[in-house]
Copies of this chain bind each other. A is one copy, B any other.
Amino acid sequence: MTTQATPPRTVKRRAPGRPATDSPDLRATLIEAALACFVRDGIAATSSRNIAKEAGVTPAMLNYYFGSKQALQDAVFEERLLPAVMSLRERVGSTGDDVIAMTRQFVQGVLGLVDAFPWFPSLWVREVLCEGGALRELLLSRIGPELPQMLAGRFAQAQQRGQLNAALDPRLLVVSLIGLTLFPAASAPIWRQIFQAELGTDVLVRHALALLGHGLEPAHEN
């Protein structure tokens, strides 16, 4: 009963030949469709036919506009993922010397990114975090390791000045920041299922900052 109740985009079987001038920008439509498939099913599991069906066209269009599946994938990376990452990079890169403020800016930056690009966490986990992910090497080669290295360096300096819990590892702190922001956002569906509750980014920000600020301890009263 529920199968195929809502066809993806277009229902009408278009005749071959150039369409009348009501056509939207198909290149953009294809990138959008590819991104949707990549996020939903993963890049490796997405076929040209899937993307074409999602966009409501034939697989040949994909080659007409991009030349190959790989080229389309590259375009999605270049025109969607990279701008998203860059926005975070700029947002967090220009921060002062105070690691607490820097932490807050990072947490809010990441979760702001998630609000702006809800597809980002899922794609990042599957295609960047996972070994063999299709975008991992590409992303590292394009934006480099500077941002995490810079953050870790700042944490290390603050620790030397005694401004940071000495038992922490500065590099793992960078990992923890992501584990408390991007990871929860990416895994939201499974927690929604388990806890039967929606955990929005605002709650996430508050929780992450509280945990980073004081850990599990209740507010100090002394």
Show the binding face of A for B, using Cβ within 8 Å. 40-42, 44-45, 99-100, 103, 122, 125-126, 128-132, 136, 140, 145, 148-149, 152, 162-169, 171-176, 178-180, 183-184, 186-187, 189-191, 193-195, 197, 199, 203-204, 206-220, 222
Chain B proximity of A31: nearest CB distance (Å): 21
B residues near A176, Cβ cutoff 8 Å? 179-180, 184, 207-208, 211
Chain B proximity of A155: nearest CB distance (Å): 9
B42 touches A132 (CB 8 A): yes
B136 touches A131 (CB 8 A): no
Sample 19 A-B pairs with CB under 8 A, ordered by A number: A42-B44, A42-B130, A44-B45, A125-B125, A126-B130, A145-B194, A148-B191, A148-B195, A149-B194, A164-B218, A165-B211, A167-B210, A168-B210, A171-B195, A172-B199, A174-B191, A212-B215, A214-B217, A215-B215
B207 touches A149 (CB 8 A): no
A165 touches B215 (CB 8 A): yes
